[in-house]
Amino acid sequence: MYFSKIAVLFTLAATGFSAPVDVDKRQAKLLSVQDYSQFQVSDGVAGNALAEVAQKFPIDQIKANLAGVSKDDLAILQAARVAAEGAETDAGGFNDAIAKASGTDADALKVGKIKNKVLKLQLEVLALQVQQAQGASNQAKIDAEQKKLDNNVKTDTASKGKTSQAVAFKATSAPGGAKAAAKPKKGKN
């Protein structure tokens, strides 16, 4: 009697251990929500924008397992891209600041805008690559955005050593995060 109960328990346990397990193979969370001012790359000098983006976001770690990027991390990448685009095109962003500036201030803002485009486009390409690895059919979009990224990296590299100025833009990488008006940052060239 006891032998048959034990045999049944072992059989059930063995069956349970051998059954397929639905394990989420996503990476641990790599990104955290930040204000735009924490991940912007437009301050400083031109020439190394792509490397600066890689210092702010774990690009290599994400690329090592695109299919495993969590939904939260993908949403943060996408929100950070939206924030960078807002810093370029929204009221008070780079476009407005450049239109109002002149001389060396305008030049520094133009260099900063290119560095911001590198940030925006690298995040866009990376998010599209994650989506593709997770089943999306978007190679044409990846190719188009990669071409834009390559062009802006070339422009940044050609401007190596030139002063770059950011804008003080209120935005966040929080999915659905709010954006606010920007103004040129002073004193952080």
For the chain, what are the domain ranges? 32-176
CA separation for the pair 119, 84 (Å, rounded): 7
31 or 20, which is more confident: 31
Q: What pTM was estimated for this model as a whole?
A: 0.81
Q: Which residues of 115-133 are buried (b: 16+ CB within 10 A; e: fewer)?
A: bbbbbbbbbbbbbbbbbbe
Interval 138-187: pLDDT, tens: 999 999 999 999 999 999 999 999 999 999 999 999 998 645 444 455 54
CA separation for the pair 112, 109 (Å, rounded): 5
- Listed in sequence order, the residues at least 6 apart from 90 whose beta carbon sits closer than 8 Å to its beta carbon are 169, 179, 181, 182
The answer to whether the CB of 115 falls within 8 A of the CB of 41 is: yes
